[in-house]
Amino acid sequence: MLQVYLVRHGETEWNAARRIQGQSDSPLTAKGLYQARQVAERVRNEGITHVITSDLGRTRHTAQIIADACGCEVINEPRLRELHMGVLEERILDGLTEQEEVWRKQMVDGSPQGRIPEGETMTELAARMRAALDSCLDLPEGSKPLLVSHGIALGCLISTILGLPAYAERRLRLRNCSLSRVDHQQSAWLANGWIVETAGDVSHLELPALDELQR
């Protein structure tokens, strides 16, 4: 059985400011750095062998803190990037026009062909996230990788493992530096392949971690 840990990056300045990030970037806040250290301590003794991260700055910084605790190198994986939010990237959430809010809501409300102009669909996101996860099957026997990615991206990945369409209504909350785990296994009582062991665990965080729409 292959166990794969999934971590969302720590809080960023744009998270705190309610600014849409997508594949744009902003640095971790002091709280985000603290969250990253806390999740690093949580997994320090789990036997992590590979820390694989989205190549955006907020995930790479989070991943480096985790890798230092686990004695691993950081491996960049662009397929773990956040959903591309097109023309809405860098925009303040509360300043969107009515039409822009319609575009944004289509990414979370179950619209099959939802796409922000110049962005990508949830189906496209799911395909690259699943490919990144499946590549872990090629790691050496006994590996225990940890992937660092983003809220929408990880939520989409976990939802599709559960059998939901990539564009399904978004109902899984993954807070900053939450910890999830998916396993690849064969079982008499579960479907063969990827299964969800845990999702969105924040028991290691001392301070409440918010998601991007609660602020």
Sequential pLDDT tens for the chain (215 residues) = 999 999 999 999 999 999 999 999 999 999 999 999 999 999 999 999 999 999 999 999 999 999 999 999 999 999 999 999 999 999 999 999 999 999 999 999 999 999 999 999 999 999 999 999 999 999 999 999 999 999 999 999 999 999 999 999 999 999 999 999 999 999 999 999 999 999 999 999 987 666 554 44
Q: 58 a known binding residue?
A: yes
Could you say which of 50, 77, 82, 212 is catalytic?
Answer: 82
Q: 151 a known binding residue?
A: yes
Tokens of 34: 């603290």
- 82 as an active site residue: the answer is yes
Distance (Å, whole) CA 181 – CA 190: 16
pTM, full prediction: 0.95
Q: 85 a known binding residue?
A: yes
- 124 as an active site residue: the answer is no
